[in-house]
């Protein structure tokens, strides 16, 4: 047996004002994306904004369903929209934020494992890392460059048919 360690790398910003203008704008776009959230059950709105190499911004928001497993997270809504609408436009960065009227969110809300796996797939597909910003409107912002820091053991079976 051998013990191994994994080290992740990320930046933490105390305020949106500390970000560079492109990242600041993308976080604001994620807030805009929450407007179309369909979250009548959890009342927890999530918005994702994705910046493509072409300069386009693609939005995603969480879409709930009374049968909970039938809903979809904001990140996957945005990524699958890109996959079906802009399949050859490289994803450069994405920002995710959340809001609820039930309590004040004080820390960045991070993506679920399913969303991270989809992000990893898109990185693999485009052979380019994706910057991810987790934007807390009343707190800090976490930024990573690449999904490996978020999901170091992403499923990536290379022997499956292409």
Please list, in sequence order, all residues whose beta carbon lies within 8 angstroms of the beta carbon of residue 142, skipping any fewer than 6 positions away. 10, 11, 12, 108, 110, 133, 134
How many C-beta atoms surround the C-beta of residue 134 within 10 A?
24
Pairwise CA distance, residues 48 & 125, whole Å = 20
* Spatial contact of 30 and 48, defined as CB atoms under 8 Å apart: yes
Q: Which of 29, 75, 121, 157 is catalytic?
A: 75
Q: Pick from 102, 128, 130, 123: which is nearest to 43 by CA?
A: 102
Task: Clarify whether 75 is annotated catalytic.
Answer: yes
Question: Which residues are known catalytic residues?
Answer: 75
């Amino acid at each position: 047996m051998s013990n191994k360690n994994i080290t992740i790398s990320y930046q933490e910003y105390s305020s949106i004002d500390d970000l560079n203008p492109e990242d600041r704008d993308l976080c604001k776009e994620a807030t805009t994306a929450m407007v179309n959230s369909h979250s009548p059950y959890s009342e927890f709105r999530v918005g994702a904004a994705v910046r493509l190499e072409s300069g386009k911004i693609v939005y995603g928001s969480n879409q709930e369903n009374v049968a909970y497993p039938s809903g979809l997270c904001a990140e996957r809504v945005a990524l699958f929209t890109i996959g079906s609408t802009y399949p050859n436009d490289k994803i450069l960065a994405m920002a995710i934020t959340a809001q609820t009227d039930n309590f004040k969110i004080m820390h960045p809300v991070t993506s679920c494992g399913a969303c991270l796996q989809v992000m990893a797939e898109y990185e693999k597909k485009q052979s380019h890392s994706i910057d991810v910003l987790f934007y807390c409107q009343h707190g800090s912002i976490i930024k990573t460059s690449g999904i490996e820091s978020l999901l170091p053991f992403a499923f990536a079976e290379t022997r499956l048919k292409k």
